[in-house]
Amino acid sequence: MRLRESLLSRRKFFIGSVLGGLSMLVAYVLNPVVRFLFHREKIPLPGAVKVAMSDVEAIAPNSARYFEYGHLPGILLKTERGELRAFSAKCTHLDCTVQYEPESRKFYCACHKGYFDDKGVNIAGPPPSPLLSFGMERQEDGMIISYQGGRKSKG
């Protein structure tokens, strides 16, 4: 009888050790994921960034170029008529980076097949809202691109 009680105690100890180890493993794996997901939103965006005029002029009509806007990927589009438009390249669905498709003149998000028109308006797929639009001001040596309080694109 005494031996049986001893075995049960060891079993409980073993199960407790395994569950404790698994809990620590899950916490170890989830910690950076949670920090990544929730910390990034708290990083303030810069008021403005400058893209060198040589980089702006190198963009061919009906094509786009990426730039960095703080921690956000930005995308600068030059339309066929030469009009410049700047957006966050972060998809409004689950934050994948969009790309510009010259053939269709749309921004495409490959993660879940989301589409935005060339004004950043969500037109197909799961994105729930337009791309964040940036303001622009031309200066001698570059294009000043500024965040305007999270303004969404309008069609």
Contact residues toward ligand FES (CB under 6 A) are 91, 93-94, 96, 109, 111-112, 114, 125-127
Tell me the three state secondary structure of residue 152: strand
Q: 113-131 b/e with 16+ CB inside 10 Å = b?
A: ebbbbbbbbbeeeebeebb
CB of 125 to ligand FES, least distance (A): 5
Closest CB to ligand FES among residues 63, 97: 97
Closest CB to ligand FES among residues 56, 133: 133
CB of 112 to ligand FES, least distance (A): 3
Tokens 């339309």, located at residue: 79
CB of 90 to ligand FES, least distance (A): 9
Q: Which pair of structure tokens corresponds to residue 88?
A: 């966050």
